[in-house]
Structure 1
Amino acid sequence: MKMPDLQLPKGVASHLAETQEAVAQTLADHVAECLRLQLAEKPEATLVVSGGSTPLPFFRALREKPLEWARVKVALADERWVPESDPASNVALVKSELLQGAAADARFVLFHYENKDPLDALSELEAAAAELTLPIDVLVLGMGNDGHTASLFPDAPELASAMNPKGERRVMVMTPPSQEHQRVTLTLPVLAQARFKALHLKGEDKIATLARAADVPADWSAMPIRAFLQAGLNVYWSP
């Protein structure tokens, strides 16, 4: 199976399957192996994931892997600033779909505080982000059809600061006008350093978006995913 009409930058690997479940299983195998290797060398490993519907089969496959989950820290790359009871909450999604069974022993690092404006919670958010030992061991990103990843949206006024490779902030509040909710995201310096980076996609529309991004890889302001289209990235895709 070939990825349709797409030339990826040199050093970007593609992992393709005919079904969403098959590609999710491959991704889960690779993530679990990376975490095992890290746990063999150090006390803890860090896994950063993304929300949405695409990663659900991946979450369900990964939670079945025989890992020392109590030694794994799990965090979201970004989150909408909504209560956990809101259907848009990615925290609720990770808790219900990934942190089940043995995986419930993992330490979940949260980037949301109830009954507080995100800008008023910046000190707490930075303290939470500091719990993530850098570099992150495993990062699994998604991508929107506007070329955003995490909550690095093209129309966010905070984008330049969040994408500053020399920036000192680990986490930022994002307010893209295109989105209903305020967002919290890990910044580019945190995400880009990850030892293992995966981009998990589903559907022909996402391949078309990725093709547009790959055509002009330097212009990350228009499509922030371009900042990650570099050697070492692994793209996982199913139709």
Structure 2
Amino acid sequence: MKTSDLQFPEGIQARFGKTPDDVALNLADAVAEFLVARLKEVPRASLVVSGGSTPLPFFKALSGKPLDWGKVDVLLADERWVDEDNPASNTRLVRDNLLQNHAASARYLSLKQPGATPAEGLDAVKAELAGLVLPLDVLILGMGNDGHTASLFPDAPELAYAMDPECQDIVAATTPASQPQKRITLTWPPLRDARFTALHLRGEDKLAILEQAMSDPGKVLEMPIRAFLKPGLQVFWSP
């Protein structure tokens, strides 16, 4: 697919680049600029990121930005319910790649808390996030080939609850049948209301999935990413 063939809804900005590193640098510049401006207005700012391999160059680029990281709360949009020493842990990924260099002084809020399951640890996660100021400031999302984002999976029994516009919980446990691990995720309302939202993608296959999502935006529970395809979204993509 040619990127020029992709027609975005009005108000969504496409910020495409030639290489993953170029896009990572552009995204890091945009996020740093937003956080610097935000910290001139408020005592603390929040940065919500996603796991996986795509954001690694972005994490490394952002970690070198000389902003006032001691006033930034960093957390994941979602996490697998595994210990930090597990290779599947996104907390480990964030600590090893983002919370380095200048960003080492940021405050990390972990979605993985004690408990055998996300449901058992839910109260501890809520306690961890109790001091987090809403709306969130910066949100960086990814997208799976099934149209999920965060741990809002189409096949998760808890999806309707987590996507409810009136959901009062900041987090929810999810148990998608397609995934080997149980999950904890921020729910749609706090994600929806973030001040700066970017969708960070890599690969031609993701463009095809995005086109599919945009072709029928009303069926949100079939492809949860559709809930975020609204004015203000910035899509950062590289081949």
Q: Same fold (TM over 0.5)?
A: yes
Write out per-residue CA displacement over residues 108-137 of structure 1, whole angstroms, 9 at most, x where no aligned residue: 000112453221111111122333210000
Paired position in structure 1 for 2:187? 187
Paired position in structure 1 for 2:59? 59
Structure 1: runs of 5 or more not aligned = none
CA distance in structure 2 between the aligned counterparts of 1:130 and 1:233, rounded to whole angstroms: 27
Alpha carbons of structure 1 residues 31 and 86: separation in structure 2 relative to 1, 3 Å: same
Paired position in structure 1 for 2:219? 219
CA distance in structure 1 between the aligned counterparts of 2:116 and 2:103, rounded to whole angstroms: 29
Aligned-pair RMSD on alpha carbons? Answer: 1.0
Paired position in structure 1 for 2:166? 166
Paired position in structure 2 for 1:176? 176
Counting only pairs closer than 5 Å after superposition, residues 1-239 of structure 1 correspond to structure 2 as 3-114=3-114, 116-239=116-239
Tell me the secondary structure at the aligned position of residue 3 of structure 2: coil
Following superposition, the deviation at residue 29 of structure 1 comes to: 0.3
CA distance in structure 2 between the aligned counterparts of 1:227 and 1:208, rounded to whole angstroms: 17
1:45–1:71 CA contact under 8 A, matched in 2: yes
TM (normalized to structure 1)?
0.97
2:117–2:182 CA contact under 8 A, matched in 1: no
Structure 2: runs of 5 or more not aligned = none
CA distance in structure 1 between the aligned counterparts of 2:204 and 2:127, rounded to whole angstroms: 39
Aligned length: 238
CA distance in structure 2 between the aligned counterparts of 1:164 and 1:64, rounded to whole angstroms: 37
Partner amino acid, structure 1, of 2:29: D
Partner amino acid, structure 2, of 1:228: F
CA distance in structure 1 between the aligned counterparts of 2:127 and 2:102, rounded to whole angstroms: 27
TM (normalized to structure 2)?
0.97
Tell me the secondary structure at the aligned position of residue 41 of structure 1: coil
CA distance in structure 1 between the aligned counterparts of 2:190 and 2:129, rounded to whole angstroms: 9
CA distance in structure 2 between the aligned counterparts of 1:34 and 1:181, rounded to whole angstroms: 34
Write out per-residue CA displacement over residues 5-62 of structure 1, whole angstroms, 9 at most, x where no aligned residue: 3111110001011000000000000000110011000100000000000000000000
